[in-house]
Amino acid sequence: MWVFGSGQYYLHKFKWTRIIRHVAVRSNASKDDPAMQEYWQQRISKRKLPSAERRLVLTLAARQRGLCAGCGLDLIEGAEYQPDDIHDWVNWFSASSRALNVHHVVYRRAGGSDELKNLELRHTACHQQHHAGDHRRDLCQPSQPA
């Protein structure tokens, strides 16, 4: 099997993507029906908890009230999405948050830790801009017309 890349960078193969199947809801199952309460509790209890990395991103996003620490804009476009339950929101947020980076306020090489108080979420562009040393302009903000 060939994998194209060098060192830590490689071309992603689609077969590496885990398929997540869903279980269809019974035809007569309504969340509003008190008789179906046990059915819905069992369905929700079978869902997996988010991984540690996803929990970290969710915790940071909640602490920052959904705003980028670099530019102050919404971390995710469409953040006003209102799901039916918290698991739907976690799945939506996880899919949408792939363009976010966890940033160390005090760099690890300078003695910073991986503790929550030293971490913040930034857009990828804001994170790259910060590390490039360009603090004069904000890539997330629309540019001013000439």
In contact, 95 and 76? CB cutoff 8 Å: no
Q: How confident is the model at residue 80 (pLDDT cuts 50, 70, 90)?
A: low
In contact, 20 and 7? CB cutoff 8 Å: no
**Residue 70: pLDDT above 70?**
yes
Give the start-to-end residue ranges of the domains of the chain.
Answer: 51-137
Residue pLDDT, tens place only, 82-141: 667 777 777 776 667 667 889 998 888 888 888 999 999 998 888 888 888 755 444 455
pTM score, two decimals?
0.50
Predicted local confidence at residue 142, as pLDDT: 44
3-state SS class at 53: helix
Predicted local confidence at residue 117, as pLDDT: 93
| Per-residue burial over 88-113, b = 16 or more CB atoms within 10 Å of its CB, e = otherwise | eebeebeeebeebbebeeeeeeeeee
Residue pLDDT, tens place only, 18-51: 787 777 888 888 878 888 888 877 777 676 655 6
Whole-number Å distance between alpha carbons of 90 and 67: 17
Q: How confident is the model at residue 145 (pLDDT cuts 50, 70, 90)?
A: very low
What's the number of CA atoms in the CB half-sphere (13 Å) around residue 39? Answer: 14
The tokens for 67 are 């705003």
